[in-house]
């Protein structure tokens, strides 16, 4: 129900911004989030890279930063493993998808799988070795901005949901609020 309401708003925002209703490109990434005590051991894990005991949000967004798909897993689930399932769901819902950008965590068999089985290009955006400090990477900032929006939602600052489906619904609600605010703002006329 929440996802259906969310999915009805996305094409309206895309049309308002002068885009087609269906996206042709997207960005995938994941974020580990601490879990509250009510989260069971069956859906909780430890992300050794981020040192977080909790869950991981795997998201795909379009080039406007609008959510195309989300999957919540235990934090110890690998990005490539979850991406295969999530990207299949996104491609089933968005048939015009041709290109998805990702970070270096999505390399390996997934790139070939996307090309052969899902019929789109998974482009890896790498950080070069000579970069020092914080550097905005092309296209990757779009999904990072989504995570920033989600963290501003107090209910999502930590995962309080017992079930992963409830956690996914909370992410859809947060994005629905963001999209309705965007639609309520007056749109500047283009010259």
pLDDT band for position 129 (50/70/90)? low
Dihedral of the alpha carbons of 56, 62, 66, 68, in degrees to the nearest 10: -60
Percentage above 90 pLDDT, the chain: 75
Say what the pLDDT of residue 150 is: 93
Q: What is the pLDDT of residues 140-160, one digit of tens each?
A: 889 999 999 999 988 898 899
For 36, half-sphere exposure in the C-beta direction (CA atoms, 13 angstrom radius) is 12
* pLDDT (average), residues 82-92: 96
DSSP E strand stretches across the chain: 25-34, 45-47, 52-62, 67-74, 99-102, 121-124
Location of structure tokens 């749109």: 187
Q: What is the pTM of this model?
A: 0.90
Task: Give residue 155's pLDDT.
Answer: 87
Task: Indicate the pLDDT class of residue 11, thresholds 50, 70 and 90.
Answer: very high
Q: Please, what is the angle between helix 79-93 and helix 109-116, to 10°? A: 20
């Amino acid at each position: 129900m929440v996802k259906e309401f969310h999915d009805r708003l996305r094409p309206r925002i895309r049309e308002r911004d002068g885009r087609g209703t269906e996206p042709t490109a997207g960005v995938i990434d994941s974020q580990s989030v601490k879990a509250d005590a009510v989260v069971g051991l069956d859906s909780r894990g430890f992300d050794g890279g981020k040192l977080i005991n909790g869950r991981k949000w795997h998201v795909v967004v379009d080039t406007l930063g609008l959510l195309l798909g989300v999957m919540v897993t235990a934090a110890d689930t690998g990005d490539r493993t979850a991406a295969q399932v999530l990207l299949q769901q996104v491609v089933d819902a968005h048939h015009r998808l041709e290109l998805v950008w990702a970070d270096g965590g999505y390399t390996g068999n997934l790139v070939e799988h996307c090309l052969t089985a899902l019929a789109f290009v998974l482009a890896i955006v790498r950080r070069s070795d000579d970069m020092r400090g914080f550097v905005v990477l092309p296209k990757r900032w779009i999904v990072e901005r989504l995570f920033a929006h989600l963290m501003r939602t107090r209910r999502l600052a930590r995962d309080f949901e017992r079930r992963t489906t409830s956690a996914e619904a909370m992410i859809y609600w947060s994005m629905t609020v963001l999209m309705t605010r965007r639609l309520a703002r007056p749109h500047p006329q283009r010259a």
